[in-house]
Amino acid sequence: MELAVLLASFVVLLLTGTSVAAAMLVSGVLSLFVGGLPITIVAERMLGSVNSYTLLAVPFFIFAAVIMNRGGLTDRLLGVAKVFVGHLPGGTAQVDVLASIFFAGMSGSATADAASQGRILIPHMERQGYDKGFAAGVNSASATIGAIIPPSITMVIYGSVTNISVGALFLAGIVPGLIVGIGMMLVVWFLAVRRGYPRDDYTPWTKRIWPVVSAIPALLAPVLILGGIFSGATTPTEAGVIACAYALFLGFVVYRELKPKDMLPILAETVEATAVPVFMIAAGSVFGFALTTSGFGFLLQDWLRAVTDDPLVFMVIVIGLFLVIGLFVEGTAAMLIFVPIFMPLVAGFGIDQLQFAMIVIITIMVGTITPPVGLQLFIAADIAKISVFKVDIWPFVAITMGITILMVIFPQIVTFLPGLMR
């Protein structure tokens, strides 16, 4: 009975336009009430889920990302990307992908990437003659790299849910993130040649010096953040604090594009952006607890065990499940609901936890760029002023999923770097 109430109320609430987080919370409360459990459990689960030192990294990295966007770091990164790849086929689109790789190493926020770069590059691509759908597609797709290359807010949440080392997750994401970025640049190259998209003029090496010099302080941010984590000098949370301090230093002292009056809007944007994942985690904990008490987790585990005893088949099923769920449910919510259910099976199949984590994270990020509910897709489509269904996203989805399947077959893509640190 509890399971029926949980799932039915959740679906009904989603169909009525209720946010995913609110739907999870309300349906979870209803299920627990029907099951006769004390309502105080709701408050205990919500508070307990966000009372985590690791999760403190989330608002700090979001704060750093907002400062970077407003403090001139994004413009410098775009300048460096332009002088190195702007002359390639699909020049400005190539710049978008490479800049996303740079930005990912500083902010860990796919949403911040899509918004900051999209506002600059999508209109620029349109003026150059690129299709609106393609411009929005490459921007939303490249933004997913922000959740794969460390530091990643999604990885912080994943580590908090599964008790896996966030530092290990960060290491595991470097190679897959770079491969995804290279894959997207190859897609841009192919489509640009086929469709006749423009490219920028070749920039002589002598004229590349100043953009690089100007961006060196910004490019040092990933070194500072990740170096502290991987060396063991700082925790991810402490690294988030350092990222904030360094971003403020660059914005006020080095680039001087920040003013004291900018701080209130920056703080307001940070609070707003932080509230979404934190409330999602709190609501997800209630929904997940309701799923557990209803026996759904055991039913799903038993079904998966009956379907296959092959770890490769299991991972393909998981990929398919997250792809389908991602069409209707926000990725973080899907992760919060299903990953705790899958973890016992991951151990039972002998699958490397980091390999599984990267496969899940990349797959749920694909959900953020697929209609009808992909967040990055909405951001890019809104900037381009087109429907989400007109965004040319599927070539990028295809290459990303192809790389994900390679990670299933060759776990060394994920485990190589973490293995060196053990």
Convert 375-405 to b/e letters by CB count within 10 Å (16 or more is b).
bbbbbbbebbebebeebbbebbbebbeebbe
- CA–CA distance, 106 with 218 (Å, rounded to integer): 8
- CA–CA distance, 148 with 108 (Å, rounded to integer): 8
- CA–CA distance, 123 with 111 (Å, rounded to integer): 18
| Single-letter amino acid code for the residue at 229 | I
Ranges of beta strands (E only) in 124-234 are: none
pTM above 0.75, yes or no: yes
Q: What is the pLDDT of residue 224?
A: 85
- DSSP letter for 86, please: T
- CA–CA distance, 26 with 326 (Å, rounded to integer): 21
Who contacts 146 (Cβ-Cβ below 8 Å, separation ≥6)?
A: 100, 103, 104, 107, 108, 109, 110, 111, 112, 113, 152
Q: What is the pLDDT of residue 422?
A: 64
Who contacts 177 (Cβ-Cβ below 8 Å, separation ≥6)?
A: 101, 104, 145, 148, 149, 150
Distances (CA, A) of 375 to 19, 391, 401: 13, 13, 18
pLDDT truncated to tens, each residue of the chain (422 aa)? 777 888 888 888 888 878 778 888 999 888 888 888 787 888 888 888 888 777 888 888 888 888 887 887 878 888 899 999 999 999 999 999 998 888 877 766 777 777 778 888 899 899 999 999 999 999 999 989 988 998 888 898 899 888 898 889 999 999 999 999 999 999 999 999 999 999 888 888 888 889 899 888 888 888 888 888 888 888 888 888 998 999 999 999 988 889 999 999 999 988 888 888 888 888 888 888 888 788 887 888 888 888 888 999 999 999 999 998 887 777 788 888 889 889 989 988 999 999 999 999 999 999 888 887 777 888 888 889 998 889 999 999 999 999 999 999 999 999 998 888 76
Yes or no: say if 144 and 331 are a contact pair by the CB < 8 Å rule.
no
Distances (CA, A) of 69 to 109, 139, 187: 11, 16, 27
Residue whose entry in the numeric block shows the structure tokens 């990349």: 362
Q: What is the pLDDT of residue 107?
A: 67
Q: Which two tokens stand for residue 257?
A: 């594009």
Q: What is the pLDDT of residue 140?
A: 92
Yes or no: say if 75 and 250 are a contact pair by the CB < 8 Å rule.
no
Q: What is the pLDDT of residue 36?
A: 80
- CA–CA distance, 241 with 56 (Å, rounded to integer): 9
